[in-house]
Structure 1
Amino acid sequence: MSPVARNKIDVHILLAADVVASVEILPRVRPPLARMFAGKEPSTVLTVLPRLFALCVAAQKTALLSALETARDEVITRATRQQRIALIVTERIADLARSLFVGHLTLDVASAAAIRSLMSELSAFVRSAQPAWSSAQREATARIVAALAALGLHEGEALRSGSPLALRVAALNDVDVKSIPAGHSFLSVADDLNITKRLLGDDSTFCYCPDVDGHVPETGPWARQVSRDRLPLGPFGAAERLMARINEILRLCAWLKAGAQIGAAEHGIIERYKLGPRRAAAAVECARGRLYHAVELDAQGRISRFEFLAPTEWNFHRRGPLVRNLQGAVLTARRREDAVHAVIASLDPCVAFTLNLSEVRDA
């Protein structure tokens, strides 16, 4: 089967009455970047990288560039670090907003014009990133905040009652999958060194089927919110993850509006790790979660080894967050497929997915 044909995730759910009896995930085929990059000059790879990823392009490029600089023992300035963090934040806002509005309000005709206006502002904002934070970018941030307010999202407040997104959250609460209590873990900067060392270790399967001490943690907006705010863990699903996206968009916009100061930036948003002579890795918090790149350079400075680990490999792992949310869950909604689809979409995979539900009697 070719990588192109498998550039999606297949989720198979087996039901016993209204209970999820089993969850099987057939993961995507990852692009063969390790083979493509081997022996290449880093400058060549950095040039072609944006053509290889449709999503999180700035995060991918920043992760690779940071890993390369660390492998070469280069030091970056504070101004460069600030510019990169601001770029990652603007891209995160754009990606989160795209999945938020396009994914949840696709059929809301009344909001269509406001959503188009917001996405246009966000796209222009990402393209216009400057080495230093400028007055033009502050003005663009103010326009984005105003566009979000028009759609019912206000900084420091709950969703406007009766707004399309408030109704969507309420609907998800009504039809959500009722998960059984399960242990949950969340990926964080504290896991970076363990993960980055293993990326360049002897286990070639790690980047396809990762774990942290046998656990498969969740990564993404909900994981970041739980870790940051130390939220108590009760039952959660699509509605909570949707609210986490909303809260993160508003929080990141507030940071940009305040001047994108590096001292107030999110902890661990870009981290670099030296792993040995000409070996290094970097971690970047992108929209869907924590992204890792690791490189080893030869004596001439060419890439001799490259590995990457995307958020999708954690969230759609065969023992990961999606399986934990669904295994044994009771589907109380009349439209069971819609309820399960919402849980899958709440983890926002970086590729398309298919869902197949079948009953035990049909197996």
Structure 2
Amino acid sequence: MSELPEMSTSIGVEVTRIDDRVEAARVTPRRQVDATRILYGKAASGAPSLIGSVFTLCAASQRIASEAAVAAAQARPTPDALRWRWRRMLYAERIAEHLRASLLDWPGEKSDPRRLAHLPALRKALAAARAAGEKDDNSLHAALKEAASEIGAPLDAGRNPTGWFAELWRDALQFARVAPCSSDADFLAIGDADTVHRALRERNANFLARPQLPGRVAETGPFARHFAYLRRNVGLLAARLQARFLDIAYALDALARSTPLAGESDLVVARSIRPGEGFAMVDSPRGFLFHRVEIDASGAVTAYDILAPTEWNFHPAGPFVRALAATRLDVAEPRRFVATLAALFDPCASCDIRLREALHA
């Protein structure tokens, strides 16, 4: 595989401002997890468990993507019962991860009593999501709904956020003037799976760090899933927060049903072009997650690549940079604005934000 220069585990975000205008916005991708180094020579059957233990965020999505990719490489069919279990785990993780990101990653004082008051509800949601693979009853839905309600998520159409989510909603609304919500967007879709699969087969490290489709640098995640239903008049940040609310409500609705929702898309797509090669695309909380594996005749892993949603959304020419470049920075706390916008793209890594004031020519 081609190599990239050494990178940080954080995403670099550098903004150059002239007066109240963004003169330049630059994103430096984070360092990638070298899954081949971790798994090379190990039995493919153990890959899902190991992968699931490496990632603290979206661990269920990572494990499911690995299970699906390995099964495709070994030409093993996926029973309906397993697919339903995956569905349950993915929707549960979607709710828990949105609550976790909203409570722990939102900019501001981490010791704020308003934030701390909701930690017990978050712990309840995380515990329920971790047990989702073993539960197939109403207790999973009940625990997650209770946690989301306690934190203040609006679970019904027409309801306003309360509690912690009301604080976030006010935060986001204050930036409506400087960051309007555009109707112009390009999103990853299941139909892009073949193109991504083809690119991953080339085993190019640059694609893993800076993925793009021919002529496109697309976005993935809650904003993409619910874009058609968002309010444009509240500004970009509030619209993105609304997408998170809708994603939580949709996932809870899905968990309450014994059959798929009308129009529900496949959460897991897997395929193989030859024996020993497998590819999986999973609709994780943050967006489409891709795994690809190569296995030798003895059942050992010889190559393994992971492409996460963060790499699409924080591509150096991607949706976050484009959104940032289109904003005005005539706000009292420009660093907080940039941090809030980044949080609403929900990266699975920290952002190292640097602001520079450029001199007039």
TM exceeding 0.5: yes
Q: Distance in 1 between matches of 2:212 and 2:233?
A: 23
Q: Does 1:214 align with 2:215?
A: yes
Q: In 1, are the aligned partners of 2:154 and 2:245 still within 8 Å (CA)?
A: no
Conserved? CA contact 1:23–1:323, under 8 Å: yes
- Alignment correspondent of 1:305: 303
Quote the residue 2:94 is aligned against. 92
User: How far, CA to CA, are the matches of 1:164 and 1:127 in structure 2?
Assistant: 23
Identity %: 27
Rounded Cα–Cα distance in structure 2 between residues aligned with 1:202 and 1:287: 25
The residue that corresponds to 1:275 in the other structure is 273
Output aligned runs, 1:231-270, within 5 Å.
Answer: 237-259=236-258, 261-262=259-260, 266-270=264-268
Check whether the contact 2:30–2:209 (CA below 8 A) recurs between aligned residues. no
1:336 and 2:295 aligned: no
Question: Greater CA deviation, 162-171 or 92-101?
Answer: 162-171
Select 1:327's aligned residue among 317, 325, 328.
Answer: 325
Aligned mates of 1:55, 1:3 — CA distance in 2: 25
1:152-179, Cα deviation, whole Å (9 max, x unpaired): 3342234436644234323322224436
Distance in 1, Cα, partners of 2:190 & 2:161: 36
Cross-structure match for 2:152? 152
Contact persistence 2:211–2:217 (CA under 8 A):
yes
Q: Helix, strand or coil for the counterpart of 1:324?
A: helix
Amino acid corresponding to residue 127 of structure 1 in structure 2 = R
> Retained in 1: the 8 A contact 2:114–2:164?
no
Q: Is the partner of 2:272 in helix, strand or coil?
A: strand
Q: Does structure 1 conserve the Cα–Cα contact (< 8 Å) formed by 2:173 and 2:235? A: no
Change (3 A) 1:16 1:255: same
> Is 2:70 the counterpart of 1:68?
yes
Give how far 1:102 is off: 2.6
**Conserved? CA contact 1:79–1:132, under 8 Å:** no
Q: Report the alpha carbon displacement of residue 43 of structure 1 after superposing the two structures with TM.
A: 2.6
For residue 264 of structure 1, report the CA deviation from its aligned partner.
5.3
Please say if residues 9 and 353 of structure 1, whose CA atoms lie closer than 8 Å, have aligned partners that are also in contact.
yes
Q: Which runs of 5+ in 2 are unaligned?
A: none
Among 109, 113, 133, the residue aligned to 2:113: 109
**What is aligned with 2:83?**
81
Asked if the contact 1:200/1:307 (under 8 Å) is kept, the reply is no
Please give the alpha-carbon distance, in whole angstroms, between the structure 2 residues aligned to 1:6 and 1:111.
29
Q: Which amino acid aligns with 1:223?
A: A
Structure 2 distance, partners of 1:361, 1:81, is 57
Aligned-partner Cα distance in 2 for 1:132–1:264: 23
Q: 1:167 to 1:329 in 2, by over 3 A?
A: same
- Aligned partners of 1:13 and 1:20 also within 8 Å: yes
Q: Does the alignment pair 1:346 with 2:344? A: yes
- Contact 2:179 2:237 (8 Å CA) reproduced: no
Deviates more, 1:343-352 or 1:272-281: 272-281
In 2, Cα distance between the equivalents of 1:208 and 1:118?
Answer: 35
Contact 1:100 1:245 in 2 (8 A): no
- What is the rounded CA distance, in whole Å, between the counterparts of 1:202 and 1:139 in structure 2? 43
Number of corresponding residues: 355
Unaligned runs of 5+ in 1: none
What residue in structure 2 maps to residue 37 of structure 1?
39
1:71 is displaced (CA, Å) by 1.0
1:50 aligns with 2:49: no
State the distance in 2 between where 1:86 and 1:332 align: 44
Change (3 A) 1:130 1:165: closer
Q: Is the 8 A contact 2:221 2:309 kept in 1?
A: yes
Q: From the superposition, tell whether residues 297 and 270 of structure 1 become closer, same or farther in structure 2 (CA, over 3 Å).
A: same
Does residue 173 in structure 1 map to residue 173 in structure 2? Answer: yes
CA contact under 8 A between 1:18 and 1:332: conserved in structure 2? yes
Corresponding residue for residue 187 of structure 1: 188
Q: Which amino acid aligns with 1:10?
A: G
Q: CA deviation at 1:308?
A: 1.2
Q: Is the 8 A contact 1:12 1:24 kept in 2?
A: yes
CA distance in 2, matches of 1:299, 1:230: 48
Displacement of 1:131 after TM fit? 5.2
CA contact (8 A) 1:3 1:31 kept: no
Q: Does 1:142 align with 2:142?
A: yes
Name the Cα RMSD after superposition.
Answer: 2.8
Name the stretch that deviates more: 29-38 or 229-238: 229-238
